[in-house]
Structure 1
């Protein structure tokens, strides 16, 4: 019976030891240290499994059925459950570490794909710049002279266009001034037309008086001369008024 207890006690000590190593494994961030802890934990689990297997298959069947055997079976059951709990805890930790590792790989692959995309964009831009550079460096002297002549022609066309625009503006202003002068001339002409009938009526009146009174030719001549002078003075006054209006 003592042999059974010694084996179970060794298994219990190994369970405590593996628990301590698992805790260290949980709180370390060093990859090499984690690998060492994993080796130790796996080795302890193997030893514990061998002891439990030996107790269940070889030692336990030889024990007599009594209270002491029942107590031993109960202690073995508790140790086995403890072992299963530690095994489950260790497996959960390894699964978490595996998930983190896969996430890291995924992020790295994603970053690499972005870097490759950026590199491809840079290479496209570089090739485009090289093509542009080659296109401009391939221009010979004759093409440069032709381009210079075209540039000069464009400059001359621009200057000529500016001059034509200035001439057009000057012509518009001249036409506008001419229209204003025509309007003023029309007003002056209307004023002249309204003054001339007055003079003509004076001449008609003088002629009537001459005809009715049968005065002598000298008198008629003098009266006609007076009418002419009146008409001339009226026309002169109108022209003088037109000049004043123009000034």
Structure 2
């Protein structure tokens, strides 16, 4: 992987680029007047990470394709609704309350993590797990620096703790009954939402099926519930022991819940 910057990066951005190149075992290349396409061609590498002052962009294959970058996408709309007192099915069905601790086992672009972070507030906590190294870096740097123009949303982003880890391993390391809600949102087999940020995610995300052992660990760890998000026609709820929740008929997704009822 090639790691580069804008043509005239600040010292802070250069330092970040060096650190990310080391973290991802990439090669730091100065621009020296070259375009991004020229860098990829000269370096004979089809992966490129561009480190900017307030953003990290990842290109795979060609710079003519849309890069992967952090953006809250539709989660920002949901956040604004929550802040004005509207309901969100994820929060209602999980029983999430201010002060709760949540583990989002399949962070992706951390959209649902952001919604949870708004709901639990500053007194709660959201830990988001991402196993894929590049995706972890792109989202982590975005959560640290993205400016939505809405202070409450930005504060909620900064509160999310993004951890690079396989979720089964991470859950196995936790004590019994140690968090309130454990949440899974595996990558769907067929995309139902495409955007400038979400489309490129599919090439990097972990497409492995959720395992029964991961769900068992989640049930052991959770005090309130374990929750799964899937497409409406999915058989994963039955396979893994989740009870389907009722959602809008027009919705393409739904949730399943395993209630634990160990809240204290």
Q: What's the TM-score bracket when you normalise by the shorter of the two chains?
A: under 0.3
TM-score, structure 2 length as denominator?
Answer: 0.17
Structure with the largest fraction of strand = 2
Structure with the largest fraction of helix = 1
